Amino acid sequence: MKRNTFAYAALPLSLALALSACGGSDKALEGPPEETPAAIDAKPVEGKVVMTAEQISSAGIQLGRPTIGGSGTIDLPATIDGDPQGMQVVSAAIGGRVVSLTRNLGQSVNRGQAIAVIESREAASLNAEIEAARARLSLANSNLNREQRLFAQKVSPEQDLIAARTAAIEARIALRLAQQQVSAAGTGGGALNRIAITSPISGQIIARSVVLGQTVAADAELFRVANLSSVSLSLNLQPQDAGRVRPGNSVTVKAAGREATARVTFVSPALDTTTRLVPVIATLDNRAGQWRVGEPVTASISLTDNDGGNAVKVPITVVQTDEGKTVVFVRTKTGFQATPVTLGDSAGEMIIVKSGLKGTEEIATVNSFTLKAELGKSEAVED
């Protein structure tokens, strides 16, 4: 009887211990907590910057899309030259002494206007030949008229009429020849011993090599006249770059706060033997007179697009570098993703993206460096 009483007394304690053991064993059997969707989203993604729309706005980050089409450019130094077709050297066709200079440096001149007068014996000889030829022609014409009257009156034979007509023709040819010789040397200088040198084109005097009283030899340079309404741009390209330049391509010219657009007119089919570069010439409108011959400038040549007009371009300022990779920050639902890109030629303030973007993405165009800083912070926390 006593044994049963002890057993019943111990029963509640055993039950309590059993229940306690069962509760502890339940916790011990539990595995690691299951990952919830929120926990999965919180996992760090490489190159990802999480930002809300409010944070993007407060950070001053602006969005935009890449530009499709266009071409790259090459920036290189260049020199302004006079247009070869608009520049002329004025030289003395005969030797003599310079007795008059009617134009100075920088002054305008019209075509055919006298700009210098040379006095010489050769000039006197040329002018005298004109006077003599004119006199012979007058005499020949007089004889021809007389022979025509006599032939009409049947006093003079036809043979004399033919001879008189031939002499008149020869005299006319001689006068024309004398006038052409003087024209090749200049024009009348106001006296038999003077020849006036005229400008062959309309333009501006850009060089003068003589002074009054100077004796010059035949073919000596006196002036240089240039029509500077159009100037040339001399460029030298690497052969691989010249292969993407065609006549008609635009060239942006910059110097000292000025900017204008020129057009390529010539791409040499051969390399320069000294520099091993390809000479290229562009024509620049200079009717405003803002460009000067010999002036150094910076030229940006537009390259012919090899992608058929489908090149993807972004502003240079959107491109950032992360861990040695060139990236562009593309907008996502939760912020931005640093997308690696491969770059091509620059095109002014734009640069071509060869790969990494399709052109339809929305990207950070302003203050993308802020995203780079945020990306650096998140990478530091992960480490």
Tens of pLDDT along 24-37?
A: 444 433 444 444 44
pLDDT confidence bin for 4, thresholds 50/70/90: very low
SS3 196: strand
Tens of pLDDT along 253-310?
A: 999 888 999 999 999 999 999 999 999 999 999 988 888 888 999 998 887 765 545 6
Question: CA-to-CA distance for 50 and 41, rounded, in angstroms?
Answer: 11
- Domain covering 87-118+195-226 assigned CATH 2.40.50.100 in the classification: yes
Provide the token pair at 254. Answer: 């910059």
The CATH code for residues 121-192 is 1.10.287
Q: What is the pLDDT of residue 28?
A: 39
Question: CA-to-CA distance for 234 and 291, rounded, in angstroms?
Answer: 13
Higher pLDDT among residues 331 and 186, named by residue: 331
Give Cα 342 to chain centroid, integer Å.
26
> Residues 74, 349: contact at Cβ < 8 Å?
no
pLDDT confidence bin for 362, thresholds 50/70/90: very high
For residue 221, pLDDT beyond 50? yes
Which residues 6+ apart lie within 8 Å of 56 measured at CB?
A: 63, 335
Q: What is the pLDDT of residue 163?
A: 93
The angle that helices 158-185 and 121-152 make with each other, rounded to 10 degrees, is 160
Question: CA-to-CA distance for 365 and 329, rounded, in angstroms?
Answer: 9
From the list 370, 369, 381, 339, the residue with the least C-alpha distance to 47 is 339
The Cβ-side half-sphere exposure at 240, using a 13 Å CA radius, reads 1
Question: CA-to-CA distance for 194 and 190, rounded, in angstroms?
Answer: 7
- Any idea which fold 48-72+309-382 has? 2.40.420
For residue 103, pLDDT beyond 60? yes
- Any idea which fold 74-83+228-302 has? Elongation Factor Tu (Ef-tu); domain 3 (2.40.30)
Spell out the long-range contacts of 134-141 with Cβ–Cβ below 8 A and sequence spacing 24 or more.
Answer: 134/175, 136/171, 136/174, 136/175, 137/168, 137/171, 137/172, 137/174, 137/175, 139/171, 140/164, 140/167, 140/168, 140/170, 140/171, 140/172, 141/168, 141/171
Query: For the whole prediction, is pTM greater than 0.85?
Result: no
The residue ranges of every structural domain in the chain are 48-72+309-382, 74-83+228-302, 87-118+195-226, 121-192
For residue 340, pLDDT beyond 90? yes
Task: Name, of 13-22, 38-47, 219-228, the range with top average pLDDT.
Answer: 219-228
Q: What is the pLDDT of residue 188?
A: 63
For residue 155, pLDDT beyond 80? yes
Higher pLDDT among residues 128 and 40, named by residue: 128
On average, the pLDDT of the chain sits at 81
For residue 346, pLDDT beyond 50? yes
> What are the φ and ψ backbone dihedral angles of 127, each rounded to 5 degrees?
-65, -35
Give Cα 233 to chain centroid, integer Å.
8
Tens of pLDDT along 160-202?
A: 999 999 999 999 999 999 888 777 776 665 677 888 888 989 9
Provide the token pair at 291. Answer: 């460009």
pLDDT confidence bin for 1, thresholds 50/70/90: very low
Distance spanning both ends of the chain, measured CA to CA:
73
Provide the token pair at 274. Answer: 């000294």
